[in-house]
């Protein structure tokens, strides 16, 4: 068993052009004032972080850590969700995802993919220089447009997609292995790795690579009507990162899992601030503590109703209240008989 570290906060949804959210120092001071003990940094946001400098300069990494330490914060992980998405993009999503890339490669899918691949390699080096052992990202998707089996998928289509996805990611997994860092894919609709079965297909395709692991976010499983607590039992050995995010799924006579093309506020499945949804966080935190999860409990705030600053303030307390300080002794130690092997054998009716 292990006490989970936290609370921490993913800064992506809070970074902005206005103070205090436009500099690492400013947003760190804000996060610390709410009670957070760690931050997860989006590596693409130049207002907060320079990925290329971090990959090249240990001095810059020391400056980043010193800025956080000044406010009593630790760096939990870096994120490359946007860059990882671009490692594999189906042509149907070229225009939608082009804005994630550097301006000089937009409109050129091959150049964009190469840029994303290089970003991932920089992230491996930066994570090593920062002394991190896990990294958050997306897998990207080639098969996602075919997630529903109509029209009928041609035989071998999915296998070809996962084979290509593995071909693109295997060298990157090796690069992270050299850096001593786990790649934690957020299991997320819109990615080819969107549930347990699809993660297993990818894991098979990359030869069970030891660095191919999971960022566990139960909110995405609520929206899929997937058992988010049972998922922990099945994939406990691969779960190396934890986003604490809530969601609710309330199907009606009009909308269900697919949402009917409605805006978030009108969908049956909606992300909610912590405590406002249906995730069984008592069970989640209990299982992670019992399993000896070594990572951080990181708030990722997404809610279609509540103001983000309120969600962050409430979220820090919510996580702190759910972290279980694990016991260092058994509750029934007071009743121990102190028996030895000879006594055990007598109790069992066995010869001495």
DSSP string covering 6-17: EEEEE-TTT--S
Q: Which two tokens stand for residue 34?
A: 């709410």
Q: What angle do CA 211, 215, 219 make, to 5 degrees?
A: 160
The verdict on whether omega for the bond into residue 20 sits within 30 degrees of 0, i.e. cis, is: yes
The reported pLDDT for the residue numbered 352 is 73
Spatial contact of 19 and 310, defined as CB atoms under 8 Å apart: no
| CA gap 299, 59 in Å, rounded | 28
Give me the DSSP letters along 86-148.
Answer: TTSB-GGGHHHHGGGS-GGGTT-HHHHHHHHHHHHHHHHHHHHHTT--EEEE---BSSGGG-S
CA 336, CA 254: separation in Å to the nearest integer? 59
> Cis peptide leading into 191, omega within 30 of 0?
no
Q: Residue 332's pLDDT is what? A: 66
Give the integer Cα–Cα distance in Å for 44 and 290: 34
| Rg, C-alpha atoms of the chain | 22
Residue in the block written with tokens 């050299």: 178
Rounded CA gap, 328 and 119, in Å? Answer: 43
5-347: CATH architecture = Alpha-Beta Barrel (3.20)
pLDDT at residue 341, rounded to an integer? 87
Asked if residue 306 lies in contact with residue 276, where contact means CB atoms within 8 angstroms, the answer is: yes
Which residues, other chains included, contact 121 with Cβ-Cβ below 8 Å and sequence gap of 6+?
55, 172, 175
Closest CA to 83 of 6, 130, 136, 129: 136
User: Residue 187 in contact with residue 241, Cβ under 8 Å?
Assistant: no
pLDDT in tens, the chain (352 residues): 999 999 999 999 999 999 999 999 999 999 999 999 999 999 999 999 999 999 999 999 999 999 999 999 999 999 999 999 999 999 999 999 999 999 999 999 999 999 999 999 999 999 999 999 999 999 999 999 999 999 999 999 999 999 999 999 999 999 999 999 999 999 999 999 999 999 999 999 999 999 999 999 999 999 999 999 999 999 999 999 999 999 999 999 999 999 999 999 999 999 999 999 999 999 999 999 999 999 999 999 999 999 999 999 999 999 999 999 998 877 766 667 677 888 888 889 997 7
**Neighbour count for residue 53 (Cβ, 10 Å):** 16
Nearest by Cα to 31 from 4, 5, 9: 9
How far lies 229's CA from each of 6, 76, 116, 148, 217, in Å? 20, 24, 33, 25, 11
Q: Contact at 8 Å (CB) between 301 and 245?
A: yes
Q: What is the 3-state secondary structure (H, E, C) of 267-318?
A: CCEEEECCCCCCCCHHHHHHHHHHHCCCCEEEECCCCCCCCHHHHHHHHHHH
Looking up tokens 């093309």, which residue turns up? 261
pLDDT for the residue 117: 98
């Amino acid at each position: 068993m292990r006490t989970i570290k936290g609370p921490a906060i993913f800064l992506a949804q809070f970074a902005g052009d206005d103070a205090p959210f436009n500099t690492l120092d400013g947003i760190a001071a804000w996060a610390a004032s709410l009670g957070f003990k760690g931050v997860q940094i989006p590596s693409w946001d130049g207002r907060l972080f320079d990925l290329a400098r971090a990959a090249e300069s240990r001095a810059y990494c020391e400056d980043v850590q010193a800025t956080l330490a000044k406010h009593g914060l630790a760096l939990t992980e870096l994120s490359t969700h946007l860059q990882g998405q671009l490692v594999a993009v189906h042509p149907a999503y070229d225009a939608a995802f082009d804005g994630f890339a550097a301006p000089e490669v937009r409109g050129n899918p091959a150049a964009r993919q190469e840029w994303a691949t290089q970003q991932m390699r920089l992230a491996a080096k930066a994570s090593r220089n920062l002394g991190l052992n896990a990294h958050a990202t997306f897998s990207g998707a080639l098969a996602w447009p075919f997630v529903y089996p109509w029209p009928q998928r041609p035989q071998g289509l999915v296998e070809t997609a996962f084979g290509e996805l593995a071909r693109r990611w295997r060298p990157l997994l090796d690069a992270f292995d050299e850096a001593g860092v786990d790649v934690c894919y957020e299991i997320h609709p819109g990615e080819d790795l969107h549930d347990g079965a699809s993660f297993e297909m990818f894991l098979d395709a990359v030869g069970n690579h030891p660095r191919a692991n999971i960022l566990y976010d139960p909110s995405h499983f609520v929206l899929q009507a997937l058992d988010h607590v049972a998922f922990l039992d099945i994939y406990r050995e691969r779960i190396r990162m934890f986003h604490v995010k809530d969601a609710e799924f309330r199907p009606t006579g009009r909308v269900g899992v697919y949402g009917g093309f409605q805006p978030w506020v009108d969908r049956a499945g909606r992300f909610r601030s912590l405590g406002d949804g249906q995730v069984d966080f008592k069970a989640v935190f209990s299982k992670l503590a019992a399993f000896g999860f070594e990572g951080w409990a990181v708030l990722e705030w997404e809610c279609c109703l509540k103001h983000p600053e309120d969600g962050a303030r409430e979220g820090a307390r919510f996580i702190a209240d759910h972290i279980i300080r694990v016991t260092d002794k058994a509750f029934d130690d007071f009743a121990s008989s102190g028996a030895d092997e000879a006594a055990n054998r007598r109790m069992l009716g066995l010869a001495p």
